Amino acid sequence: MFETFKLEMVDLPEATLRVRHGGSGPPLLLLHGHPRTHTTWYKVAPLLAQHFTVVCPDLRGFGKSSKPADPHDHEASSKRAKAGDCVTLMKHLGFDEFHLAGHDRGCYTAFRLAMDHPERVLKLAVLDGVPILSALERCDARFAARWWHWFFYAQPDKPERAILADPDAWYGGTRETLGPGNYEDYRVAIHDPDTVRGMLGDYRAGLYVDPLDDLDDRDAGRRLLCPVHVVWSKRDDLEELYGDVPATWQPWAALPVTGAGLDCGHHMAEEAPEELAAELAAFFSGEGGGGPISAAAQLLET
């Protein structure tokens, strides 16, 4: 995996992040979701590295990056704290401005980064997610039944006990579907008690801290100032729950939000890497995004 990329541990003021970076061109930061690590991008990142300098960290609390000293410190697991890590990481690598994409839980950190640091983010792509506050305010019995894990993972102590009793059965995934190297990295993460606690901290902050930050922004009239492009999995449930997914994001953005659905399941970087890379390349290159995948694919091949 990542044959031409550099792997290093980067010490930051509040965290130590494991990060891979490679390629050339405008900087692009990719943020993974739960329960993955940065290796989820192992097929997507090399395609994008043809045109971008691609940076893939393990977020604080995930993978081999450092975990908050106090697993019950919601502020330390907040998206604001993780966004601060990302800004400092990119400055360390020499980038004051960059493109940004986040998947699943990573899209919440990406959203917070673009909201808190608008001068840093050139364009934002959000993959398989809507703003946390929007999800919670629309919560009904159907949402609770589908996304029950949001509320279970936020409980103290019990989710760790349930997950660590049999992590492979809890999370699933196979060597064939994830790819050998990505699968091994993922299994190390889900079998490590500190990492499981770190990942759960992301959900606890997601109920007790992050929605308040979103609410403060909305009350103050703050919106995302950069172009925003939404990509969702057609075989997942975002369309069923929210209907027009870009329209759900539009109140949070100053510019028109674009979007596209991919014919795949939730883990799009592993299930549809070429299509996802093409969609992101088209958006970040200035082609817009949301157009024909074949046209974007030609961009990657040039």
Catalytic, 192? Answer no
Residues 104, 185, 202, 217: which is the catalytic one?
Answer: 104
pLDDT digit of tens for each residue in the chain (302 aa)? 999 999 999 999 999 999 999 999 999 999 999 999 999 999 999 999 999 999 999 999 999 999 998 878 999 999 999 999 999 999 999 999 999 999 999 999 999 999 999 999 999 999 999 999 999 999 999 999 999 999 999 999 999 999 999 999 999 999 999 999 999 999 999 999 999 999 999 999 999 999 999 999 999 999 999 999 999 999 999 999 999 999 999 999 999 999 999 999 999 999 999 999 999 999 999 854 433 333 334 444 44
Is 1 within the bounds of a domain? no
Whether 40 is in a domain gets the answer yes
Range of the domain at 125: 6-301
For 31, the 3-state DSSP assignment is: strand
Count the domains in the chain.
Answer: 1
Tell me the CA end-to-end span of the chain in Å, nearest whole number.
22
Instruction: Please choose, from the candidates 115, 114, 73, 284, the residue with its C-alpha nearest in 3D space to the C-alpha of residue 215.
Output: 115
In this structure, is residue 242 part of a structural domain?
yes
Q: Does a structural domain hold residue 192?
A: yes
Please report whether residue 83 resides in a domain: yes
Biggest CA–CA distance in the chain, Å, is 51
Quick one: what percent of the chain has pLDDT higher than 90? Answer: 93
Check which CATH number belongs to the domain holding 276 and give it.
3.40.50.1820
pLDDT on residue 291: 36
> Per the domain annotation, does 72 fall within a domain?
yes
DSSP secondary structure string, 235-299? TSSHHHHHSSHHHHHGGGBSSPPEEEEESS-S-HHHHSHHHHHHHHHHIIIII-SSS-HHHHHHH
219 catalytic residue (yes or no): no
